[in-house]
Structure 1
């Protein structure tokens, strides 16, 4: 029988995972607000998000495991992997996502990015030379139908979003897949705060010469400052921290499944706050892609259980 304390702890883990997903979803809508109404440049915003968020996480890592924070720099191969993660993982996933938002809206960009887990499954199927299981075939079909409905509203003649928005949304999904796969080896050796913190900070610094973050952009008022602060603190640092904490309590599979709330949060807030037009076909496409995430998560959990048996 589960003790009340254990039950309460599990509930707190569930709440933290959902809260992290909601924070991430709202962060995308805040970015859309800054792009549309405050004339912020996506690349400039990404650069500052990476630098400030990374700096906070590195400092946080130092307060937790100071030795672990700098240990990665003593191993040249791990340093190279970290640099690759910083540029090809962290910068690419952030920039493609934010740029996709600037071309469409937070809801559409977030949902398109969430087709990324399907690419992760495809990568491991090829790597391990195995045919996808039934749930993965179903996920592929649902993801394709969901994306089709989202970008065409069921019409074969036209797109309801620009070709650029679709392209950058797909690139965002590819970047998310790389971001998920590439640092797995590093995360077995170093803490997630260390890898993510250094990845963000180094990525932001490498991106700086191209974005010139020292040149202030956009219309700065209380609304802009609030949205910018939210993206850095709640959309990056706090969301990351509480999500990792939830993983230690309820496990990675359950926590990842609950993250499917993020597209719903992005869509809901964008509709209510920014008046984004999200019709029945958009919601149906979103539902199909969310079911994709559920099926992939369940199939991954079942495969893990079979391997352990």
Structure 2
């Protein structure tokens, strides 16, 4: 009975984490559009606060000695710095920039091209051979992107160019983030690695846009609530819940339920923000979600 209860908790955690992630992008879009929040400021503030919160959780709930042990070896410290800058900061900034220029639905779906990029990278490096499943995954990704970005019309794009560029770069950054973190995550708890990576990214971006430089006149009580949601639910709790779910669920189960993220982003963007979404764009979204499910069902 205890095991079943633990699994039920795991399911609740991963579902909440994925939905928080998806809605967090939509709430960020609201901040950009309605309150003219600067994307640099939001990414800086989000990374610094969420990173500190994750390390605080590690300190009180897990092995606190790891928090500073990660800096004691030069090779690990340098890898963490690269991961923080080219992985964490790159993923967060490109994703938010794509939302800023377009919308959260398209940005999230484009970011989910990362698994396809990893497949292509592995095949080019001869680390894996091309399978029929890989071809189907790539075909779904390409068809999904075509429908999503053109809405079925070859004469023009239905999504702003900068949003597409930042969205694709977000997928590239996520692919790097996923591959580069593996050796670090084998040695240290994920809360330590991601917490420090967020702080590294946030401190670096502070030189471009310090977190204390904000137009407080534009910040209404509503805007503060949205900001709290993006930082607390859309970043810190989303990550923590997903990691905790892996304690009681298999990676396959967590990955499958994690595909609720793009669905949450698309749903809230269309219903809450009233963004237009054409028939072909829905078909494109279905192709990309299908691709995610196909990947999650594959044990490799």
* Contact 1:97-1:113 at 8 Å conserved across structures: yes
* Contact 1:17-1:259 at 8 Å conserved across structures: yes
Matched with 1:154 is 152
Alignment of 1:112-123 (within 5 A): 112-123=110-121
Matched with 2:7 is 10
Matched with 1:306 is none
Report the Cα offset of residue 238 of structure 1.
Answer: 1.1
Aligned: 1:126 with 2:120: no
Figure out how many residues of one structure are paired with residues of the other and give that number. 298
Matched with 1:59 is 56
C-alpha separation in 1, matches of 2:290 and 2:123:
20
C-alpha separation in 2, matches of 1:66 and 1:167:
40
Deviations along 1:244-272, one digit per CA (max 9) or x if unpaired, are: 11111112221112111111101111112
Matched with 2:142 is 144
Alignment of 1:20-169 (within 5 A): 20-63=17-60, 64-169=62-167
Higher helix share: 1
C-alpha separation in 2, matches of 1:195 and 1:249:
21
C-alpha separation in 1, matches of 2:156 and 2:278:
16
C-alpha separation in 2, matches of 1:267 and 1:246:
24
Report the Cα offset of residue 128 of structure 1.
Answer: 4.2
C-alpha separation in 2, matches of 1:129 and 1:98:
32
Task: Give the aligned CA root-mean-square deviation in angstroms.
Answer: 1.2
Unpaired segments ≥5 residues, structure 1: 304-309
SS at match of 1:213: coil
Matched with 1:292 is 291
Q: Which moved more, 1:88-97 or 1:251-260?
A: 251-260
C-alpha separation in 1, matches of 2:128 and 2:239:
33
Matched with 2:180 is 182
* Contact 1:99-1:168 at 8 Å conserved across structures: yes
Report the Cα offset of residue 242 of structure 1.
Answer: 1.0
SS at match of 1:154: coil
Report the Cα offset of residue 193 of structure 1.
Answer: 0.3
Deviations along 1:22-58, one digit per CA (max 9) or x if unpaired, are: 0000100110000000000111100000001111111
Matched with 2:205 is 207
Q: Which moved more, 1:166-175 or 1:128-137?
A: 128-137
SS at match of 1:159: coil
C-alpha separation in 1, matches of 2:6 and 2:63:
24
Report the Cα offset of residue 11 of structure 1.
Answer: 2.1
Give the TM-score normalised by the residue count of structure 2. Answer: 0.96
Report the Cα offset of residue 127 of structure 1.
Answer: 3.3
Cα–Cα, structure 1 residues 272 and 220, in superposed 2: closer, same or farther, change >3 Å?
A: same
